[in-house]
Structure 1
Amino acid sequence: MDRQTRIAVVGGGLAGLTVAALLQRNGYPVAVYEQTPNFSRIGAGIILGANVAKVLRSLGLEPSFTETGIRPDAFVSRAWDSGETLYELVFDAACEARFGGPFVNIHRADLHRILQTPLAPGTIRFGHRLAGLEETPGGITLTFDNGASTEVDIVIGADGIRSRVRDEILGHEQPRFIGRIAPRAVFPAERLGDLAIRDCTKWWGPDRHVLVYYMTARRDEVYVMAAIPADRWDGDGTPIPGTRDDFVSALEGFHPELLRAAEAATDVSVWPIMDRPRNDTWHKGRVVLMGDACHAVRPFMAAGGSMAIEDAAILHRCIVEATDTEAAFRRYAANRIPRVAEVQRISIANTWMHGPTEVDWFFAYDPSTAPLDAAA
């Protein structure tokens, strides 16, 4: 596609920053429109595998990615009550060679900061909340709540599960609360005292689970997150303050090691867990969706961020190699939908690495070089 194609990315999250960096590297004029006034160190942990490391490698970001986060010794699944190890995927040199890259735990905000480094100065336009899209003879006009407007040739909607771009092409529909809430906390590792924990553990209960892992190579910051049944959620998608006592009481009967980790939490926030029913309409005209805007998944496979960054790699390749917008978007959707649909299915089932699991298809995948099938 012509390198003069003007591209607007709506949303400055992981997907939006990655696709912007990849497209700029190929010479496209790209602007990222972000509704917040600035980026701050909010959020919590994220688990990413070799499939993501390969995309960051293509941008020259893999060293800062691995040095800022932690390359855990293993992913461990344990029984909630006995502590028995149900499955362990060891991340040694042989495993990294098999997958073609490392497995990394990192604070989402730290990854976010790393992804901004390749962008040209002024790429991110803060304080721009999308108000509307209108197709014109010359392209698409975007208008924003701050009164600004711009005309571009392509719009990439990377604005999350409550995507305004999605609303424009699919109509407004609220995300679906799945009957689970996620209490979570980030705290200094020194609060663990003499408790020794593994780098990355998932504790599996009958109707709930808990993730505990370090987020830095210094092992000085710990993230704890649970998924717990809840009858309802009356708010929107934003978190509410929780308490450590409520968090611990929700884990009654869990192994003492896990309870000690939960008791070390300080500030607890509670998030609703939401997704959307599968919808394979990912593009319309000059507008295309990526990440949670088109395929919000439940966090039970720890794959939402991975899928968003993979989307960025594939979409940018399709844009670069296509002769027109429709061909690029059709090829992108045809290549991504089958893989994302399998991730959605596994995430709903919540079975990923509970026991012996075939993981090569996920971690060994390279979105930067994988063959792109002709769109159906």
Structure 2
Amino acid sequence: MAQKPDNRLSVAIVGGGLGGVALAIGLLRHGISTHIYEAAAGFGEIGAGIMHGTNSVRAIGLISPDMLSAFKKCATYNTDPAKENTFIEHRYGTDSNNGNGKKSGDSICDVQTNLPEHRWTGTRAMTTVHRARFLDEIVKIIPEGTASFSKSLVDIVESDDGVRLYFADGSQAEASTVIGCDGIKSKTREVLFRNTTPVVPQYSGVYAYRSLVPRDIAIDVLGEDLTTNGSLWMGYGGYWITYPVDHGEYLNVVAMPRKEDWQVAVENLVLPGTREDLLNDWPGWDPRLLKLSEHFQSYNRWAIFDLIHDERYFKGRICLLGDAAHASGPHMGAGAGMAMEDAYILSNLLAGAKDSSDLERVFEAYDSVRRTRTQDLVRLSRYAAEVNELAAPGIMDNFEALKHHSDQRYRWIWNVDLEAQLEEAKQIMNKHIDHSTSMQ
């Protein structure tokens, strides 16, 4: 349960998506005055299914037991008991052409974890949620009045006393600090870097068709096993991913072809398409997947942008979290998990600040432990797309190399000690505070 704010600090959060609400839950639990400013008319998430690895679910539980309970209420798992420790099964989406005799649909490997985290959290290795359902549940944790809507950020002005936020409707707000959780198109990031080299998203060379397919239809096309357990379908020129969401009521389907020369801007991430476009993108692919596409709700194409840079995630009293700082492609199923990790670390560091004079040291510590890991994820996700397309140098469609690399890259994400990372950040913060005190 949220504690009563003690007014040491006041935090303005720009963005009411999963990252912003997770941060608010963590801050309120520590008694920090918090308010969310959301540009939309209400809470909402774009997209459908989202995967969470063991690192993400543990971060959620560390932020708040109530948040973990809300997550578990929405959670969907592999239904096969033999896949309890399987995050995702990799299989061929096309016939292999390297002479190994593998056919479309044949298994490459089960990416598994034997880590205890999913037992600690009461979940399983592969846990998926419907984005909007999960957001609806965690919003219930924060007190009424914690958020203001239709607040499109225009500018932020810093002073010795704090920050002033200016919104498109002419209103203003004040706080000790502002945390930008406003996604890949972040206005907060634009303000943060306006007097330096801009940090802008780049098209990653991949776009996505995505849809939810009702369970019964999916079973008719794919069979029960492939409908009720997650699969990543590797193949030449792109890949598909399918997994159950909404307690198995739907199959979440994402098909991502490589299109390096596609002309698209981050301001318009979604372009219309047709089923003919989709079929042209997937020649020779598993006929079951192509049959499944008959039942897509739309054939819009979602450009995958990401954010690779070496700049610090803060300046002065302004800081970035989640996609606003380090948007990655979906190719490792870890973008949302990194935002949960951010929220855990940053909320706890802010709880250790004595007053607003400690903010820059808090952000320095946060940046020190989060930037390398999250930027490594952005780069790794780009490489993972090539692996999934059977096109990564040194791996290509080598069966044994695919199994080895898939196992190693997921373990890098999962094998993180978040509590040790927080302790490291606290030591960095306290070192800065002690040094600042000795200089006075």
- Using the size of structure 2 for normalisation, the TM-score is 0.79
**Residues 1:220 and 2:249 aligned together:** yes
CA offset digits 1:69-101 (Å, max 9, x no partner): 312243111112122211203578978349985
The one-letter amino acid paired with 2:183 is G
Identify the range of structure 1 (273-282 vs 156-165) with the bigger mean alpha-carbon deviation: 273-282
Quote the Cα distance in structure 2 between the aligned partners of 1:137 and 1:67.
Answer: 44
Quote the Cα distance in structure 2 between the aligned partners of 1:173 and 1:364.
Answer: 29
**Residues 1:84 and 2:106 aligned together:** yes
Identify the range of structure 1 (124-133 vs 52-61) with the bigger mean alpha-carbon deviation: 52-61
SS at match of 1:127: coil
The match for 2:352 is 321
Percent of paired sites with the same residue = 28
**Residues 1:244 and 2:307 aligned together:** no
Per the alignment, do residues 368 and 268 of structure 1 end up closer, same or farther by CA in structure 2, a change over 3 Å counting?
Answer: farther
Per the alignment, do residues 222 and 241 of structure 1 end up closer, same or farther by CA in structure 2, a change over 3 Å counting?
Answer: farther
Whether the 8 Å contact between 1:10 and 1:34 is mirrored in structure 2 is yes
CA offset digits 1:31-85 (Å, max 9, x no partner): 0000001234641211111212123324223233233231224311111212221
**Residues 1:116 and 2:139 aligned together:** yes
SS at match of 1:338: helix
The match for 1:336 is 370
Greater C-alpha radius of gyration: 2
Quote the Cα distance in structure 1 between the aligned partners of 2:61 and 2:117.
Answer: 18
Q: Residue 126 of structure 1 is aligned with which of 126, 141, 149?
A: 149
Counting only pairs closer than 5 Å after superposition, residues 118-157 of structure 1 correspond to structure 2 as: 118-157=141-180
Quote the Cα distance in structure 2 between the aligned partners of 1:247 and 1:21.
Answer: 40
The one-letter amino acid paired with 2:91 is R
Quote the Cα distance in structure 2 between the aligned partners of 1:367 and 1:110.
Answer: 26
1:145: how far off? 0.4
Quote the Cα distance in structure 1 between the aligned partners of 2:13 and 2:216.
Answer: 40
**Residues 1:372 and 2:420 aligned together:** no
Instruction: List alignment gaps of at least 5 residues for structure 2.
Output: 95-102, 389-400, 433-440
Quote the Cα distance in structure 1 between the aligned partners of 2:47 and 2:420.
Answer: 31
Higher helix share: 2
Instruction: List alignment gaps of at least 5 residues for structure 1.
Output: none
Quote the Cα distance in structure 2 between the aligned partners of 1:41 and 1:326.
Answer: 31
Instruction: State the aligned residue count.
Output: 375
SS at match of 1:355: helix
Counting only pairs closer than 5 Å after superposition, residues 145-184 of structure 1 correspond to structure 2 as: 145-171=168-194, 172=198, 174-184=200-210
Per the alignment, do residues 91 and 367 of structure 1 end up closer, same or farther by CA in structure 2, a change over 3 Å counting?
Answer: closer
The one-letter amino acid paired with 1:315 is L
1:137: how far off? 2.9
Whether the 8 Å contact between 1:7 and 1:31 is mirrored in structure 2 is yes
Identify the range of structure 1 (288-297 vs 34-43) with the bigger mean alpha-carbon deviation: 34-43
Identify the range of structure 1 (295-304 vs 7-16) with the bigger mean alpha-carbon deviation: 295-304
1:115: how far off? 2.2
Identify the range of structure 1 (149-158 vs 68-77) with the bigger mean alpha-carbon deviation: 68-77
Per the alignment, do residues 113 and 223 of structure 1 end up closer, same or farther by CA in structure 2, a change over 3 Å counting?
Answer: same
The match for 1:259 is 290
The match for 1:191 is 217
**Residues 1:355 and 2:403 aligned together:** yes
The match for 1:104 is 127
Runs of 4+ in 1 over 6 A off after TM superposition: 91-95
Q: Residue 70 of structure 1 is aligned with which of 73, 76, 84?
A: 76
SS at match of 2:319: strand
Q: Residue 311 of structure 1 is aligned with which of 328, 342, 354?
A: 342
Whether the 8 Å contact between 2:17 and 2:44 is mirrored in structure 1 is no
The match for 2:306 is 275
Quote the Cα distance in structure 2 between the aligned partners of 1:43 and 1:149.
Answer: 30
The match for 1:52 is 56
Whether the 8 Å contact between 1:80 and 1:203 is mirrored in structure 2 is yes
The match for 2:20 is 16
Quote the Cα distance in structure 2 between the aligned partners of 1:179 and 1:13.
Answer: 26
The one-letter amino acid paired with 2:206 is R
Per the alignment, do residues 7 and 301 of structure 1 end up closer, same or farther by CA in structure 2, a change over 3 Å counting?
Answer: same
Whether the 8 Å contact between 2:45 and 2:135 is mirrored in structure 1 is no
Identify the range of structure 1 (352-361 vs 265-274) with the bigger mean alpha-carbon deviation: 352-361
**Residues 1:299 and 2:330 aligned together:** yes
The one-letter amino acid paired with 2:23 is V
1:366: how far off? 4.9
Counting only pairs closer than 5 Å after superposition, residues 202-213 of structure 1 correspond to structure 2 as: 202-213=232-243
Quote the Cα distance in structure 1 between the aligned partners of 2:193 and 2:331.
Answer: 26
1:177: how far off? 1.4
1:298: how far off? 1.8
CA offset digits 1:269-288 (Å, max 9, x no partner): 21111112323311001111
RMSD, aligned α-carbons: 2.6
The one-letter amino acid paired with 1:355 is K
The match for 2:393 is none
Whether the 8 Å contact between 1:156 and 1:287 is mirrored in structure 2 is yes
Quote the Cα distance in structure 2 between the aligned partners of 1:216 and 1:92.
Answer: 25
Whether the 8 Å contact between 1:214 and 1:223 is mirrored in structure 2 is yes
Quote the Cα distance in structure 2 between the aligned partners of 1:41 and 1:330.
Answer: 30
Whether the 8 Å contact between 2:60 and 2:340 is mirrored in structure 1 is no
Quote the Cα distance in structure 2 between the aligned partners of 1:14 and 1:168.
Answer: 22
